[in-house]
Amino acid sequence: MKPVSSLLQRRADGLYHTEPDATVFDALHVLARHEVGALVVMQGDKLVGVFSERDYTRKVALLGKNSKEVRVAEIMTANVFTVTPQTPTHDCMALMSQKRIRHLPVVDGEKVVGMLSIRDLMDDIIADHEQTIEQLTSYIQS
C-alpha cells in the first residue's frame, strides 16, 4: 500500500484550520468556503483538535445552541487520532473504520502537514481499481 504522503502530494488545496476561540459560526463559514467537512483546530502551531460538521450537528444544532455564541473549543474533538506521512493508506482506512472517524490530521513530528478524509482514501482506492481494470483489459486484448 502507498503512504499517506503520496495522497497529499496530489492535492492542490492547503490545510484549512480554525482557532479554538473562533465561533462555530465562523468555522462553519470556513468549511463552506473550502467545501470540506472538517478543519484542524490550531493554537498557534499546535494541533489542539478537529472541528467537523458532525461536531456541529450533534453538539450545537441538535441541542438548540447558537453557533454565533458557541466557541469551537467547546465542541471540537480534542482527542485526535493522527497519522504520519509514512503511514500506509490501508492503515488509515482501518483506523477510520475502527474509530468511526472521517478525518485524520497528518503530522510530521509536531507539525501538521495535512488532513486526510475518508473521501481521499476512497478516491484513491477507486483510481487504483480503475487502473487495474485498464491493465487487465489491455493484457486480455493484446
pLDDT in single tens digits along all 142 residues of the chain: 689 998 888 776 778 999 999 999 999 999 999 999 999 999 999 999 999 999 999 999 999 999 999 999 999 999 999 999 999 999 999 999 999 999 999 999 989 999 999 988 988 888 777 777 887 787 788 7
How confident is the model at residue 73, as a pLDDT? 98
* Count of CB atoms situated within 10 Å of the CB of 139: 8
Three cell numbers, residue 3: 503512504
Domain ranges in the chain are 4-141
Helical (H) or strand (E) element with 8: helix 4-10
CA distance 48 to 15: 15
CATH says 4-141 is which class? alpha beta
Which amino acid, one-letter code, is at 91? D
